Amino acid sequence: MQLIQLLIDGVASGCIYGLVALGFVLIYKATETINFAQGDILMLGAFVAYSLIGILGMDYLTGFALTVLIIAVFGFFLDAVVVRQIIGQPAFATVMLTIGLGFIFRGFASIYWGTDIFSFSTPFSGKITEFNGLIISYVNLSIIVGTAVLMSVLYFFFTFSKIGVAMRASSENQLAAYYMGIPVKFIFSLIWSISAGVAAVAGVLLAPITLVDTSISLIGLKAFAAAVLGGFGSIPGAIVGGIIIGIVEQLCGTYENYLFEGVREISAYLVLILTLIIYPRGLFSDKAEVKKV
């Protein structure tokens, strides 16, 4: 029973990793760049939600929707104005650029909102439900349900909507997409905005658990483990990878005595390194995308 309880907590935190990893994967699939600032965008989302809900006193759902919208627009212009200039430079340049952007966001957040820890009330805060002796908090439930809803929305979007199909086409082959009359640059900016929006959703869902401060941007680094485990380039892989990382982290935390001290904090990174060494393709990759030497 304790194990199931752990699994539920693990799945909930894993969903957050999965959502952030999903942001990486969307951008990587499309433009072959990795956005190291994904965690910082999540942080911005949480802060914007705090401003809207906590300070301006908006209704939770309205504030949620508005936050996602604001961050999505922000992501669109981030690509259109800054990141696009770097296309064609070595991978190293993109890595440095997005790291630099992450620092700017974090610095901005701590200047604008301050370095205190904030919280805002949600309809889920502090409520729990009991089921067969299992204690499930509403917050965890909201994360799991929110992820599931978002995933299905994205699934239908990418499968049935015209823009979604155009996005998949551009990811598959940029040049062919151009020839078919798809505005590839616009589509890429749109992908950045979806990715930022997903990060914002994760940020708002996470806010009741970790509270809001600048250190939550570190989630982005753990989400790398999720993305790599899922095979960087597969959308279901990102979520599954995230859930696995979340569960592993919970288990390592509980059974720390049998392993070694401090294993919980680095378990995600250990999984990441082991995946890269042993099975760099990841679980869900359909093609061998990692070159080997």
Partner 1 sequence: MRFIFKTKYSQDINIAKHNGDRFWYSLLILIMVALPLVLDDFYLGEISYICILSIAGIGLMILSGYTGLASLGHAAFLGVGAYTHAFLLTNGIPFYASIPIVIIVSFLVGAAIGIPILRLTGMYLAIATLALGFIAEHVFIKWEHFTGGNRGLPVPQPEFLGMSFYDSVFFYYVCLVFLIAAMFAAINILRSPTGRAFVAIRDSEIAAQSLGVNLGLYKALSFAISGAFTGLAGALLAHYIGYLAPDIFNIFLSLTLLLLIVVGGMGSLHGTVFGAIFVGFLPQLIAICRDYLPSSIGSQPGLEPMLFGLILVFFILYEPLGIYGRWMKIKLFFELFPTYKRQTFKKQKVFTKSDRV
Instruction: Provide the binding-site residues for partner 1, judged by CB under 8 A.
Output: 28, 31-34, 82, 85-93, 95-97, 99-111, 115, 174, 214, 221, 224-225, 228, 232, 260-262, 265-266, 269-270, 272-273, 276-277, 280, 287-293
DSSP category for residue 79: I
The beta strand positions in 117-217, using DSSP E, are 128-131, 134-137
| β-pair partners for 129 | 136
* Between 81 and 148, CB nearer to partner 1: 81
Q: How far is the CB of 159 from partner 1 (least distance, A)?
A: 22
Apex CA 70: angle with CA 115 and CA 85, to 5°? Answer: 90
| Distance from the Cα of residue 276 to its chain's centroid | 20
Name 37's Cβ contacts closer than 8 Å, sequence gap at least 6.
98, 99, 101, 102, 105, 220
- Per DSSP, the three-state class of 130 is strand
Q: Is 261 exposed, middle or buried (0-12, 13-18, 19+ CB in 10 A)?
A: exposed
Residue 136 or 266 with smaller CB distance to partner 1: 266
CB of 130 to partner 1, least distance (A): 36
Our CB check for partner 1 shows the closer of 208 and 242 to be: 242
The least distance separating partner 1 from the CB of residue 241, rounded to whole angstroms, comes to: 13
d(CA 98, CA 196): 13
Nearer to partner 1, 184 or 201 (CB): 184
User: Could you give the CA distance from residue 112 to residue 43 in angstroms, rounded to a whole number?
Assistant: 13
Task: Report the alpha-carbon distance of residue 249 to residue 251 in Å, rounded.
Answer: 5
Q: Which is nearer to partner 1, 143 or 229 (CB)?
A: 229
CB 32 to partner 1: min, Å: 6
Least CB distance to partner 1 at residue 38 (A)? 12
Closer to partner 1 at the Cβ: 47 or 64?
A: 47
CB of 203 to partner 1, least distance (A): 18
Q: Which residue, 141 or 266, is less far from partner 1 as judged by CB?
A: 266
Residues constituting the chain: 293
**Chain centroid, CA 10 distance in Å:** 16
What's the closest the beta carbon of residue 61 comes to partner 1, in angstroms? 31
